[in-house]
Amino acid sequence: MKLIRTLGLAAALVAAGAAHAQQQFVTVLTGGTSGVYYPLGVALTKVYGDNIPGIRATVQSTKASAENLNLLQAGRGEVAFALGDAVSDAWTGNEEAGFRTKLDKLRGLAGIYENYIQIVASADSGIRTLADLRGKRVSVGAPRSGTELNARAIFRGAGMSYSDLGKVEYLPFGESVELIKNRQLDATLQSAGLGVASIRDLANSVNIVVIPVPAEVVAAIGDAAYQPAVIPANTYQGQSTDIATAAIRNILVTHSGVPENTVYAMTKSMFENLDQMVAAHAAARGIQAAGAADNLPLPLHPGAERYYREAGLLK
């Protein structure tokens, strides 16, 4: 009898070990908790966990695009949110953008919603145009983040640089907003989906002005990743008119070491559960399967490609 019990215990341990071995961990790399990437990443982990057998998904807050892409290259994450221009820089190995060598393990999963360049100043700062930012205290996002790379591009298109500003702060969205509230900062540039929580919080606390980025400035950047766009009136409290700006596509990125079946399941489950993504943040309304595989600056992962072909979205 003792032998039978011992054999039964051994069998149970073997079964448990096999089940554990089959479990796969998926880390979703996002951005700061006050941005758009983070709530969408939380929703994505729930979609994965609820719909993909054997997946244990977790979300990780990061400094966003550049850090996410470097982490993926190092195998320290399975899927990440990143801005399209940062992805292009990572794939080509643009050292100035924070990529010392080409990140050759990166693979595309899906083009998703667009980020909008949102430059917001306190009304009492006197800032109304890009030129008015000269000599002012401005936050341009965390160092080497997608937002900070976008800031460099916008100022370049406007014929300006950081040296024209009075003081440059390299801060995440939430910290930038708190400094404006405390009159320690004049303006913040945030690259995010419309209705980002940090700017909504600021607009509900102080009178704000959303600074236009004219179409000619967008054209002067000289990068097809940047397209003219509009922040619709009433996106934020006190913003009563449409505001011209630039938009940049966001991309979900994975790496070549993630199994094909896993990436296939991640791609399929996301597009079949977009309602959960939209519930997490309105920016997800811009996510759709049609066109998600088009014009990406890096190769598709075979698992994602399989999904798009099955869905009739790739020939």
Give the confidence band of 98 by pLDDT, cuts at 50, 70, 90. confident
For residues 162 and 135, give the distance between their C-alpha atoms in angstroms, rounded to a whole number.
10
Q: Tokens 């890096």: give the residue.
A: 298
HEC per residue, 221-284 = HCCCCCEEEEECCCCCCCCCCCEEEEEEEEEEEEECCCCHHHHHHHHHHHHHCHHHHHHHCHHH
Same topology between domain 24-113+249-310 and domain 115-248 = yes
Give the confidence band of 143 by pLDDT, cuts at 50, 70, 90. confident
- 34 close to 2: Cβ distance less than 8 angstroms: no
- 250 close to 82: Cβ distance less than 8 angstroms: yes
115-248: what CATH class?
Answer: alpha beta
Per-residue pLDDT tens over the stretch 251-280? 999 999 999 999 999 999 999 999 999 999
Give the confidence band of 6 by pLDDT, cuts at 50, 70, 90. very low
Per-residue pLDDT tens over the stretch 32-84? 898 899 999 999 999 999 999 999 999 999 988 999 999 999 999 999 999 99
* pLDDT > 70? residue 4: no
Architecture of domain 24-113+249-310: 3-Layer(aba) Sandwich (3.40)
- The domain locations on the chain are 24-113+249-310, 115-248
